[in-house]
Amino acid sequence: MVTATPYRKVLLIGLLMLSACSADNTEQSNNIYGNTMGTTYSVQLDVLPNGVSHTELKNQLEAILETVNQQMSTYDPESEITQFNRSESTDWLPVSDALVFLTSIAEGHSLLSNGAFDITVGPLVELWGFGSQFNNQRPAIEAVQSTQEYIGHQLLEWRSESSALRKKHPQLQMDLSAIAKGYGVDLLAQHLNGLQVNNYLVEIGGELRAVGANPEGQPWKIGIQQPDSAAPEAGLILSLSNHSVATSGDYLNFYVEDGKRYSHIIDPRTGYPVIHQTASVTVVAETTTLADVWATTLLVLGEEAGSELAELNNIAAVFLVREDAGDFSLSMTSAMIPLLKPGK
Ligand code: AMP
Ligand code: MG
């Protein structure tokens, strides 16, 4: 077995947060902001595409996001995914190409991670109170065990010819929350590429894609920092010009019971929320879909197993680990080093 050697450990106090260091401070900027997928999105760009107004561009981007929502939102009772989840049929069910595409990526990561990443985890997410109904009640062990009977990527088949999915267990459900935001960012980026926009930063709920140069003509600077820090330059700064970044964190959605922390990141192999000390993982990848799926996969695995898998696959990742006394330590894989801003 190959052992990963995390490059560097630094003590940090606080939590990881991504931020674009180049602020939008122009009154008449072309930037676009809005809400989607239960969070916010933003697009920073230097010039509008030829012949397209700000309003037109915003409408085009929002139409793309609306389609993703109609396909993947588990909060929308009429979305494609909700209808699939509601069905108890074990026949092939026709779905969009997008659902099949993401299912195929998810299956690859289930195999790579020995089941740590699994989009069929939805019923466990719901059982632990992190689904459509948030509640902080720990379920009975019997309920966890009986739910696990229909969790497992091997119970979900996909085919790309006449796009369709098939449940091998009638109660199987899928949850694309760990990838959908990244996928949405990629679609927006593709749209901007098609309009010959060369410099932009697209972000949905913290998952982002940085292309070309920032308004100062420099690579985009993305800060991985402490949200409660007054110093914007605290933490690490990435220098990116054609990359995607995603973060998965256990501090975004959790409850504490009897002094134990229960997070929305569930380990499908145990049926329980992850219990290791890794608080968050940030991944830089070629696409935002991949960054998003990797970040969640590595968070489920935790720093030890996660950094080993990331090293093996040459994935750029930063792990933030809770230490005693409320401190955090930070480690990263070797592929992350060239992405750091010089001097950081
Ligand atoms: P992210 O913020 O991208 O890490 O996605 C977190 C969401 O992914 C959670 O809110 C769950 O809906 C879902 N999820 C939780 N555990 C897993 C897992 N082991 N594999 C895949 N998705 C998961
Ligand atoms: Mg993710």
SS3 166: strand
What is the pTM (predicted TM-score) of this model? 0.91
What count of other Cβ atoms lies within 10 Å of the Cβ of residue 18? 20
Mean pLDDT of 252-266: 81
Bigger pLDDT: 20 vs 300: 300
Question: Which residue lies with its CA nearest to atom 18 of ligand 1?
Answer: 117
Bigger pLDDT: 261 vs 121: 121
SS3 331: strand
Ligand 1 within 6 A of CB of 177: yes
Question: Which residue lies with its CA nearest to atom 19 of ligand 1?
Answer: 117
Bigger pLDDT: 154 vs 343: 154
What count of other Cβ atoms lies within 10 Å of the Cβ of residue 338? 9
Q: Cβ contacts of residue 132 below 8 Å, gap of 6+?
A: 74, 75, 126
Predicted confidence band of residue 285 (pLDDT cuts 50, 70, 90) = very high
Q: Which strand (E) or helix (H) includes residue 42?
A: strand 39-45
- Distance from the alpha carbon of residue 15 to the mean position of ligand 2, in angstroms: 17
Ligand 1 within 6 A of CB of 119: yes
b/e sequence 112-143, b meaning 16+ C-beta within 10 Å: bbebbbbbbbbbbbbbbbbbeeeeeebbeeee
pLDDT in tens, 314-344: 999 999 998 877 778 889 999 999 998 775 5
Question: Which residue lies with its CA nearest to atom 14 of ligand 1?
Answer: 265
pLDDT in tens, 10-43: 434 334 455 555 444 444 589 999 999 989 999 9
Mean pLDDT of 146-152: 97
Q: Which of 109, 132, 175 to mutate to test the pocket of ligand 1 (most atoms within 8 A of CB)?
A: 175
Sign for the pseudo-dihedral over CA of 53, 57, 58, 63: positive
pLDDT in tens, 205-231: 999 999 999 999 999 999 875 544 444
C-alpha pair distances (Å), 180 with each of 65, 101, 162, 168, 220: 10, 11, 22, 23, 23
SS3 155: helix
Q: Where are the alpha helices (DSSP H) in 73-128?
A: 80-86, 97-112, 122-127
C-alpha pair distances (Å), 138 with each of 47, 85, 164, 272: 51, 23, 35, 10
CA distance 97 to 230: 45
Q: Is 264:274 a contact under the CB 8 Å cutoff?
A: no
Residue with tokens 């935790």: 302
pLDDT in tens, 231-256: 444 478 899 999 999 999 887 677 77
Share of the chain above pLDDT 70, in %: 88
CA nearest 320: which of 224, 179, 234?
224
Question: Which residue lies with its CA nearest to atom 7 of ligand 1?
Answer: 178
